[in-house]
Structure 1
Amino acid sequence: MTDQAPASPSRVLIVVSANPRTSGRLAEAIRIAAGVSAWQKVAVTLYVGGDALQGLLPGDGLFVDEDNIVDFLPTLCERRQGVYLEQGHPLVESNRDRLSFPEIDAGGLARLAAGHDYVMRF
């Protein structure tokens, strides 16, 4: 028997930019992130940019699979999973009071990706 330190969990970055009005990718990315993070064997980080940002605001049924966004985004927040937004995007700028996630620029996203074992793009 050898004494080995437990391996650190793999780190997965999920990057989403698809428009939630026409694609279920944001909803699916949030659902996957919440489900995988519950397992606690993989550290999950979510980056939301571009058109996908509108899916973090109330959609009143306008978004594809909006129920997954509504159901699973709070789970990520409760578990203190990393959720980052595209810095400087007009939607973020005009909704700072409702979008309380940290913002990162393109360089920050590159550094974030470099610190992860896997990157999934939606």
Structure 2
Amino acid sequence: MGVVGGTIRRGGCTLRLRLLDRIRQAHADEPDLTTLQTHGYFCDAVADCLAGWRTVVVEAVGAGIPAPGSATALGYYDGLRAERLPAALVQGLRDLFGAHTHRRVDREGVFHPVWSEDRREVQAG
């Protein structure tokens, strides 16, 4: 299957899944669609399965069963949904390892936690 010129090719495929029709319909509904995750059907489908998806990843990890595809896809999905998480995590790590300070979204100013003591936050500038 491939998307060529706005159409989806299924030629030569022995399996004809309804999913391909859903993908075709999503692109027909929204010709400028950049990700299926924003289309109503797919957004709802993922939301309906999200709890189960998380359970599968947690159980696999707990049992020592490698599930890199599922775990990575879940991490990617969570990263797309989170408005600040990846950037905030990186900013916190930079401050922890190099005292780079950080800004907060709830207060003006630049801050730095005192990591080696009680981790209280001091205003740095």
What TM-score range do you get, normalising by the shorter chain?
Answer: under 0.3
Bigger share in helix: 2
TM-score (norm 1): 0.26
Look at both structures and tell me which one has the larger radius of gyration over its CA atoms. 2
- Bigger relative CO (Cα 8 Å, ≥ 6 apart): 1
Which structure's residues are more often strand, by fraction? 1
Q: TM-score, normalised by structure 2?
A: 0.25
